[in-house]
Chains A and B, each alone.
Chain A
Amino acid sequence: MSKIWKLDNDIDTDIILPTEYLAFETVQEMKPYAFSPLRPDLAGQIKPGDMIVAGNNFGCGSSREQAPEVVKALGISCIVAKSFARIFFRNAINNGLLLIEQPDLYDEVNEGDEAEVIPGKEIIVNGKHYPIANLPDNLTEILEAGGLVKAMRKRNGLD
């Protein structure tokens, strides 16, 4: 079971990680500042295995890949949103962060609810079952490889 943190529509990449912190050498250093313009305490509250539920257009804005990297580093297991901005979507998959589009969940759950995610099938919250779709094959391959870096290492005969 994953605890739900609920965020709004149009959560942009400047909220997920402000420009001020982009040049830190490691994602670990960036972690405390995730979501800081909107909810300065959130990064400290998230526990590994938690999930984020959001509205439309999650991750809109810049192409900064630090955004999905920092979310993953916080231990977020997946993000369920009504829709995702496309660069964020690609970046998340390339980092092995699971994103799920689901039209109804956001309107019916509350922060703090517990959810069970069965990839490719459904999400169960408060006893209700929300169906979810499969990713396209090429993305599933990247996810299954554990991200694009690992996929490329394999291609280059390293792993």
Chain B
Amino acid sequence: MTPVHPAAAGMIAAVVLTSTAGEVLTAAAMKSVGDLDEIRARSGMKGAIRAVVSCPTFFAGVFFLALSFFSLLFALNHLSLSFAAPASASLTLITNAIAGKIFLHENVDRRRWLSAGLVCVGVYLLAH
């Protein structure tokens, strides 16, 4: 197995970190907004859209997701798709589980750790 070049590792790390920041901020925003199904039932689709777009954390999340998208485009420009896509997708699952526990205070129990690990290996195998 050939070692991963530091530049390649840096590109994958950039995708994984920006994606994790985006997912966590978006999740935090949606938790602060509340159940969208209930808001839509109460104030209609416009009310639900207004509730989402009036949350600054949501835009911070979208900013990092956009950054992650462009980091992935940059990585794909230098690395092969069969390496960059599965590596970033599977590592993001693990970093999100860690970030979910630390920042969102989610109950990441043994079941979720095991699930994240299985899905991570599964995504890796699927891309080969």
> Do A and B bind?
no
User: Which residues of A does B touch, CB under 8 Å?
Assistant: none
Chain B interface (Cβ < 8 Å from any Cβ of A): none
